Amino acid sequence: MTTDLTSALAGARILPVLTVPSEEMAAPLAAALVAGGAQCAEVTFRTAAAEQVVKAMAAHGGLVVGAGTVLTAEQVERAVAAGARFVVSPGWDDEVVAKCLELGVPVVPGIATATELMRALRAGLGTVKLFPAEQLGGLDTVRALAAPFPQARFVPTGGIGPDRLSEYLAEPSVLAVGGSWMAPGALLECGDHAEIRRLTAQAVERSTR
């Protein structure tokens, strides 16, 4: 399972991070992301609608849909029941990781330090989210962490936009880049799916250079 997620992220290279306020927004959003060329999406558990959004986006097809901002074991259970194919957490949490391993759902824990990365590697998790990437020092930090831990693969997320995407993806230790810039809240609110599609297509285009 974990290997599958690593392959999916390695193939996708971009991971749109979505905070979706209502279930009705899910299907048109999924359509826009697929039309833009996205292959994966992370639905954050920051809204009451998150589970329904996961369900609706997974049902739409064309995307590997996971759950993000998962902070508790109970949220892991709800995410998996809703059909999430993977779980992302902003930080390291023993209970979240243990529940994911128990349920056999791939998990990408957030790490911000070498200590947290060592914890992840010890748990057998070689793919981690560096969060918040830009605020932690961006590519310099990715390179500094990759040096002693060549087996680690990073999904840097936080503060990254289209301008720095190619630079991040050129780094051998970077599996994929996550971010909300492709489907920001303001575009979701006004239903501007054409712009979400354009931003997604731009990211996909920059990820394949």
Interacting residues toward ligand 3PG by CB under 6 A: 17, 44, 68-69, 90, 157-159, 178-181
Nearer to ligand 3PG, 63 or 148 (CB): 63
Residue 156 CB, shortest distance to ligand 3PG, in Å, is 10
Contacts of 202 (CB under 8 A, 6+ apart): 162
- Residues acting as catalytic residues: 42, 129
d(CA 204, CA 194): 15
Residue 10 CB, shortest distance to ligand 3PG, in Å, is 19
Chain center to CA of 65: 9
Question: What residues pair up with 154 in beta bridges, in sequence order?
Answer: 128, 174
Nearer to ligand 3PG, 147 or 163 (CB): 163
Residue 66 CB, shortest distance to ligand 3PG, in Å, is 11
Q: At what angle do helices 73-82 and 94-103 cross, to 10 degrees?
A: 40
Residue 178 CB, shortest distance to ligand 3PG, in Å, is 5
Nearer to ligand 3PG, 71 or 201 (CB): 71
Nearer to ligand 3PG, 17 or 112 (CB): 17
d(CA 125, CA 68): 17
Largest CA distance in the chain: 46
Residues in the chain, total = 209
Contacts of 170 (CB under 8 A, 6+ apart): none
Q: For residues 191 and 173, is the Cβ–Cβ distance under 8 A? A: no
User: Which among 67, 92, 98 is positioned nearest to 81, based on CA atoms?
Assistant: 67
